Amino acid sequence: MSQPVPLGVESRREPWYLRLPVIADVRRSVGLQRGMLVTGLVLTSILVLVAIFAPLLAPYTWAQTSADGVSFGTQQPPSAKHPFGTTVSGFDVASRVIWGARTAVLVILAAVVMSIVLGVLLGLVSGYLGGWLDRILTMITDAIYAFPSLLLAIVMSIVISGGQSSAFGGIMSAAISITVVYVPQYFRVIRAETIRLKAEPFVEAAKVTGAPVRRILFGHIFRNSTRTLPLIFTLNASDAVLTLAGLGFMGFGIEPTSASEWGYDLNRAMADVSSGLWWTSIFPGVAIVLSVLGITLVGESMNDLNDPRLRRRRASKKATSADTRGDEPTADAQEVR
C-alpha cells in the first residue's frame, strides 16, 4: 500500500505557473464555485481584451457619424452595416460600446493603482509606528466614510475639469473619487495585519539583526498581509465602473467627441425608450452589467477560496464523508483532525 504524500510536497513539484494566484484558485475550486470563478474570469477577460483591441474590433471610431461621405442616419435599427443600430446623434452603437470598454478599463486601472499605493503605504506606516500618527490617520480614514462616492465624483469632476467634460477630466474625476473612498478600506485591512504581524517572531528577529524599517515593512510584513486585498481590489474596480457610468448618466461624464462612455449613452437613450427604440440603451446597459458582474464574481470566488475558515469547513465535510464511506481521509481532512 502506497504511503500518503505529505502536504506541500505535490505543490512544490508543480510548475511555477500553476501556483499563480488565479490559476491556483481555479484548480482548487469545485462545483458551483468553480463555475462562478470561471464565469467571472471569462467576462473580465473579454472586457480587457475588448479594451485592448478596440481599434481592431470597432467598425468606426467613437465619434464617427459618416463613412465614405454618407451619413449613418439617426436612430437606425440594427442592420448589417450597424449591428447595434445608431443613436439619436448618429453614432454607431457597436463602436461606442466597444470603445467604452477602454474608458472603463482606464478608470479601473487609475483608481485601483492610486487606492492600493496610498492605502497600503498609509496602513503599513500607521500600524507599524502606532502612537499619535496612528490615531490621526485612523480618525481621518473613518471620517472619509461619510462622503458618498458619487457625490464626491461630481465635485471632483467640476474641480478637475472646470465643468468641461473632457476625457481626462471624466476619467480622473471618477478615479480620484473612488481612490478617496477606497483608501480607508485598504488602510484598515493593512493596518490590522501590520499590528498583528509586527509582534510575530520573524519580525522581532529582523529587528534584532538590525534590518532597516523599509525592509521589515515591505520585505516581511507587506508580503504576509495581502490575503484580503483581491476582494477589495475587485470591489474597487466594479465600483469604479459604476461611478463612471453614474457621472455620465447625470451629465458630469465625458463628452461623446472626447471618448466613449456607457453612462452618457444611457442618458441620451432615455428618450428613446418611450419611443420603442431599445437598441440605444440595451447594449450599453448590458456592457455595464456584464463588466461589474464579471469583476465581482472573480473577487467573491477568490475571497472564498482563500478564507481559512471556509477551507477548514470544507475539509471537515470531506473527513465526515470519508468516515461514512469507510474511505481513507484526504490530506485536508487529516490536517483538520
| Cβ-based burial of 278 (10 A; exposed 0-12, middle 13-18, buried ≥19) | middle
Continuous H helices in the chain: 9-13, 21-28, 31-52, 54-57, 93-129, 131-144, 149-161, 167-197, 201-208, 213-215, 229-249, 262-268, 270-273, 279-305, 308-325, 331-336
Residue 329 main-chain phi, psi, to 5 deg: -65, 150
Residue 104 identity? A
The pLDDT value given to residue 164: 59
Cell numbers that stand for 43 in this block: 467576462
Query: Packing angle between helix 93-129 and helix 279-305, nearest 10 degrees?
Result: 30
Q: Is the pLDDT of residue 316 over 80?
A: no
Q: Is the pLDDT of residue 270 over 90?
A: no
More confident residue, 288 or 216: 288
Q: Is the pLDDT of residue 260 over 70?
A: yes
Domains in the chain, please, with CATH? Answer: 59-288 (1.10.3720.10)
The pLDDT value given to residue 320: 56
Confidence of residue 250 (pLDDT cuts 50, 70, 90): confident
Task: Compute the Cα dihedral for 153, 155, 161, 164 and give only its sign.
Answer: positive
The per-residue pLDDT for range 128-187, each reduced to its tens digit, is 888 888 899 988 888 887 777 778 778 877 777 765 566 777 788 778 877 888 888 888
The per-residue pLDDT for range 33-45, each reduced to its tens digit, is 788 888 999 999 9
Q: Is the pLDDT of residue 246 over 60?
A: yes
Q: Is the pLDDT of residue 47 over 90?
A: yes
210 φ/ψ sector (left φ>0, alpha ψ -120 to 50, else beta):
left
Give the span between the Cα atoms of 213 and 283, in whole angstroms.
Answer: 52
Give the span between the Cα atoms of 182 and 171, in whole angstroms.
Answer: 16
Confidence of residue 284 (pLDDT cuts 50, 70, 90): very high
What's the chain's average pLDDT?
Answer: 79
Q: What pTM value is reported for the model?
A: 0.79
Q: Is the pLDDT of residue 294 over 70?
A: yes
Report the percent of the chain where pLDDT is more than 70: 82
